[in-house]
Amino acid sequence: MSPTRPTVLLVDDEPLSLETLTRTLEESFEVLTATSAVAAEELLAEEWVQVVVTDQRMPETTGVEFLARVRERWPDVLRIIISGYTDPGDIIDGINRAGIYQYITKPWHPDTLMLTVGNACHLYRLQREHELLSLETRLTAATLEQRLAAQRARLKRNFRLDAIVRSHGGPLDAVCDLVERVAPYDIPVLLTGESGTGKELFARALHYNSHRADKPFVAENCGAMPDQLLESELFGHKKGAFTGAVNDRIGLFEQADGGTIFLDEIGEVSRAFQVKLLRVLQEGDVRPLGSNQRRRVDVRVVAATNRSLETEIAEGRFREDLYYRLAAVRLHLPPLRERPEDIPVLARHHLEAAMAAFGKSVTGLSDDLIDRLQRYHWPGNVRELQNEIQRMLVMCDGNELGADLLDAGIADAASCSEPPGSEPSRTQTLKARIEALEVGVLGETLERNRWNKSQTAAELGLSRVGLSAKIERYGLARPSGDARRNPP
């Protein structure tokens, strides 16, 4: 038998049924057959079998009784039953007594059978690999300490301020200087900026350049999460505190004890939860849901938002006292359209990362492509740039990424814009200049309103239909994906 193909044992007292099963599986698996439970056990004692597929109704025994014996003698073998009866009692009995992997009803479909047996073989292989890895990872305490220290050192290197991808002399230099000045001190920091500008990257930089770098860094996105769930995530809960709380849970504040907690999208939390968070920040302790005991925590809080919290305070949606607790230092990350000099550096960085991830190589980016990338307004910021570079690399058939690979919407918008830092062309028509300005205003307003068309239309004095028509005309597209840890 080929050692590269898994072995499946088929057990059925009906020869015709056994033959049909064999024809279905023999192209992908090594197949053994038995017409009785006794014969099947003899084969199991002699052969290395990964999966047993048996009929439920057999003269001398049932499939469940047979697989129960298999479970006792060969517990690693995956067990599957085929039956024309769907009695729930049989199914429950099979699960409890025989530990069956899957219950297949007649008439079965060949594709379903192939998929089920294939998944069972894959699970068997994973179980064996897990056992081997468990043996290999029985290391001494000293070895584990060495590995942990190496991992910490690697994280510190990855989040050094001089490792943040940016152009020399660009706007991010001032941001990095401020991070370097603030990081060593236990002072709360509020990161502001549009989505995709790299707020989590700088939160990690604050942590790994501080004296807390050897302690945990934990992150939580607070946006669009119900209060009870968010409270459970951050503060923990006791078993039975609410429906579904079947075990005690340690909250992220406790998990981050001694380190840093990053609260992303802090502007999205409700007023009611803001009160609870304010107390934790003031008192330095948390009370898990369902518990009467408070627990002391020592954490540094870094928060982030793409909203204007000053506006939220003025409109009564955010507590002023919580704002001052979070924003002892405010650090604003400029959008990509305000630092076009960073675009070539970031584009090449993301191209190198994409080539390594996809196993596909090109020589680089054409000058024309770089020019067009710098003309585009990038409403999705670095995240959108990363996605576009990855898409172009996948679509590229040549040795270089050129402007012809750009998404049509990006290419059209870029063609309407002037190069960064230049004066409007004297030969450019008034219509082209107005369109370029309109594209920039639309993109910025949509991003600030998180692509809520009703709010954007109201702010710009347009109808919703009119706004949709302009979005389609200029090829504006909402940034896709939720990639983390992008360079800014």
Where b means 16+ CB within 10 Å and e means fewer, 362-388 reads beebbeebbebbbbbbbbbbbbbbbbb
> 122 falls in which pLDDT band (50, 70, 90)?
very high
Q: What is the pLDDT of residue 40?
A: 93
Q: Beta 78-83 vs 285-286: how paired, if at all?
A: unpaired
Q: Beta 102-105 vs 78-83: how paired, if at all?
A: parallel
User: Does the pLDDT value for residue 202 go beyond 60?
Assistant: yes
Q: What is the pLDDT of residue 479?
A: 61
**Helices and strands: H and E segment counts in the chain:** 20, 16
* Rounded Cα gap, residues 372 and 411, in angstroms: 7
Q: What is the pLDDT of residue 137?
A: 64
User: Does the pLDDT value for residue 299 go beyond 60?
Assistant: yes
Each as own residue / partner, the long-range contacts of residues 386-390 (CB below 8 Å, 24 or more positions apart, any chain) are: 386/350, 386/483, 386/486, 387/479, 387/480, 387/481, 387/483, 389/347, 389/350, 389/351, 389/354, 390/350, 390/354, 390/358
Q: What is the pLDDT of residues 373-384, one digit of tens each?
A: 998 989 899 999
Kindly report the number of other CB atoms within 10 A of residue 50's CB atom: 23
Amino acid code (one letter) for 419: P
User: Does the pLDDT value for residue 98 go beyond 90?
Assistant: no
Share of the chain above pLDDT 70, in %: 89
Q: What is the pLDDT of residues 306-317, one digit of tens each?
A: 999 999 999 999
SS3 111: helix
Angle at 150 between CA 148 and CA 152, to 5 degrees: 70
Average pLDDT over residues 243-263: 92
Q: What is the pLDDT of residues 152-201, one digit of tens each?
A: 777 777 778 888 999 988 889 999 999 999 999 999 999 999 999 999 99
Q: What is the pLDDT of residue 88?
A: 66
Mean pLDDT for the chain overall: 86
* Rounded Cα gap, residues 259 and 212, in angstroms: 5
169 CB contacts (<8 Å, ≥6 apart)?
341
- Residue 46's Cβ-count burial label (10 Å; 0-12, 13-18, 19+) is exposed
Query: Which range has the worst mean pLDDT, 102-116, 127-141, 154-168, 402-416?
Result: 127-141
Q: What is the pLDDT of residues 411-434, one digit of tens each?
A: 887 776 655 555 545 555 666 667
- Residue 76's Cβ-count burial label (10 Å; 0-12, 13-18, 19+) is exposed
Token pair 């129960």 is found at: 68
Question: CA torsion angle for 251, 253, 258, 264 (degrees, to 10)?
Answer: 130
What are the structure tokens assigned to 7, written together?
């072995």
Where b means 16+ CB within 10 Å and e means fewer, 405-436 reads bbbeebbbbbebbeeeeeeeeeeeeeebeebb
What are the structure tokens assigned to 366, written together?
């054409």
What are the structure tokens assigned to 218, written together?
């934990």
Q: What is the pLDDT of residue 486?
A: 39
Q: What is the pLDDT of residue 413?
A: 79
User: Does the pLDDT value for residue 9 go beyond 90?
Assistant: yes
> 484 falls in which pLDDT band (50, 70, 90)?
very low
- Residue 308's Cβ-count burial label (10 Å; 0-12, 13-18, 19+) is middle
* Rounded Cα gap, residues 417 and 375, in angstroms: 6
> 485 falls in which pLDDT band (50, 70, 90)?
very low
* Rounded Cα gap, residues 38 and 70, in angstroms: 11
Q: Which residues pair with 219 in a beta bridge?
A: 262
User: Does the pLDDT value for residue 481 go beyond 50?
Assistant: no
User: Does the pLDDT value for residue 63 go beyond 60?
Assistant: yes
What are the structure tokens assigned to 394, written together?
């996948």
Average pLDDT over residues 40-49: 92
> 241 falls in which pLDDT band (50, 70, 90)?
confident
Q: What is the pLDDT of residue 431?
A: 67
